[in-house]
Amino acid sequence: MYTEDVKQLFKSNNIKNTQQRHMVYSILKSKKQPITTEEIYKIISGKLEKPINLSTVYRILEVFTEKELILKSQIHINGKALYEINHREHRHHLICIKCNKIIPIKGCPLGEYEQILEKQTGYKIIEHNLEIKGICPKCQKR
């Protein structure tokens, strides 16, 4: 039932290996797009397994985010925060404004821009966040 590598991952991050955490992690891992706390909660509740409490999901996501196993997006969709597995590679997303479908984008167009910006502004650049909005092929046809 427990996947050995997830167990290891938790161990190396000093995260106690509970069923709930395992379930939440597996769901996040299986998703290619960021999802909300509520979605995770519903997926687990939908399965006939042991149910989970919504506040537990919130707490688990907090722990995962702290340990940087996952990323919490700054962008809120309909007032809800989004979470996704931390692929530990720089990534951006393309969101469909019609159906909210989100796909990851290959590569980052920012390049050396951050260094130029540091010189221009005096700020020490830490990171950036780029979200692109558009209409996906399906929604364009409608």
Residue nearer to a copy of itself on the CB measure, 48 or 126: 126
Of the listed pieces 11-19, 38-46, 47-55, 99-107, which binds a copy of itself according to CB under 8 A? 99-107
Buried b (16+ CB within 10 A) or exposed e, 6-41: beebbeeeebeeeebbbbbbebbeebeebbbbebbb
Q: What are the backbone dihedrals phi and psi of residue 36, each rounded to the nearest 5 degrees, phi first?
A: -90, 165
Q: Which of 3, 8, 18, 115 binds DNA (CB under 7 A)?
A: 18
Separation between Cα atoms, residue 5 and residue 83, nearest integer Å: 21
DSSP state of 108: -
Residue type, 106: K
Of the listed pieces 27-35, 79-87, 97-105, 120-128, which binds DNA according to CB under 7 A? 79-87
Q: Which of 34, 36, 93, 102 binds DNA (CB under 7 A)?
A: 36
Q: Is 136 in the site for a copy of itself (CB under 8 A)?
A: yes
The tokens describing 84, both together, are: 């996704």
Q: Is 122 in the site for a copy of itself (CB under 8 A)?
A: yes
The tokens describing 33, both together, are: 């797009």
Of the listed pieces 57-65, 87-95, 100-108, 114-122, which binds DNA according to CB under 7 A? 57-65
What residues make contact with a copy of itself under the rule CB under 8 A?
Answer: 74-76, 94, 96-97, 103, 105-106, 109-111, 113-114, 117-118, 120-137, 140
